[in-house]
Amino acid sequence: MISRAFCGRTRVYIAHIAGTPIDDMVATARRLTDDGFAPMPHVPARNIADLATLETWIRRYREEAGVSQALLLGGGQSEPVGTLDSSIQLIESGVFDRYGFGRLHVAGHPEGHPGIDADGTTRLVDDALLTKQAYAERTDAEMAIVTQFCFDAKPVIAWAERIAAAGISMPIHLGVAGPTKLQTLMKFAMTCGVGPSLSVLQKRALDLGKLLLPFEPHDFLDEIATYRANRPGSLIEQIHVFPLGGIRQSADWMNERLRAGVDG
């Protein structure tokens, strides 16, 4: 995932797929740092055996790769490998503060999360955001909410308004899918559990004239940009791009948007 500038450098999220050795994760972070990027590794609680392992990971990221930011997640596994199973546990461990991680991102779910709120509500995910908001207020950590990629702006806008009304002030970094084939995008969307806005892709798939064209999130971003222009105080601060069609293709698309004067 690619986000906008962090201290003048492009922020690059590093997904930690279950089973990936920490050696590989640290090496990737080190390479990105050396190339002038700002790596932000995923830290998925359910992939970590215990607090000692967490501390080892974070120490290595800091000392070997110069990392000072992380995306904290519960993780996609239904069962934890050890004693950790939530991003709140990661936050409250104190490990990130000890190693000087000044920026922490947490997950937001504009379309809900059936794995967390099985009853179809947003009660538990909302409560979790309020707990993270409280942590942000009592510490010096810069925190933001990052989302899965979505395709329909309306539920995203409604969610942003709702959590702001509930007392959340952490900025939102909105996930968007970079340009890719529609078939590829639908596969990723179903694998990642994208919610109701998946219907946007399904409708596009019925249009034979668009079926073979790469999907680009112009309509989605244009609607978000219009909303931001009308609501400059919105929590939606910036976007981060999932390069599902390839990093080069997504980077070229982002540069084209910037040259056109489109502010995501």
pLDDT of residue 9: 76
Q: What is the pLDDT of residues 214-238, one digit of tens each?
A: 677 888 899 999 999 999 899 999 9
CA atoms within 13 A on the CB side of 94: 1
Instruction: For residue 4, give the nearest of 244, 260, 252, 241 by alpha carbon.
Output: 241
pTM of the prediction? 0.83
pLDDT category of residue 7 using cuts at 50, 70 and 90? very low
Tell me the residue ranges of DSSP E strands in the chain: 2-6, 9-14, 38-44, 69-73, 103-108, 142-149, 172-177, 236-242
Instruction: For residue 248, give the nearest of 180, 173, 175, 157 by alpha carbon.
Output: 180
Residue 122: how many CB atoms within 10 A of its CB? Answer: 19
Exposure pattern of 7-18 as b/e (b: 16+ CB <10 Å)? eeebbbbbebee
One-letter amino acid for residue 174 of the chain: L
Q: What is the pLDDT of residues 99-118, one digit of tens each?
A: 999 999 999 988 766 567 56
Q: What is the pLDDT of residues 125-181, one digit of tens each?
A: 888 899 999 999 988 889 999 998 888 899 899 999 999 999 999 999 998 888 887
Residue 205 has pLDDT above 70, yes or no: no
Q: Which domains does the chain have, with CATH numbers?
A: 2-258 (3.20.20.220)
d(CA 177, CA 54): 30
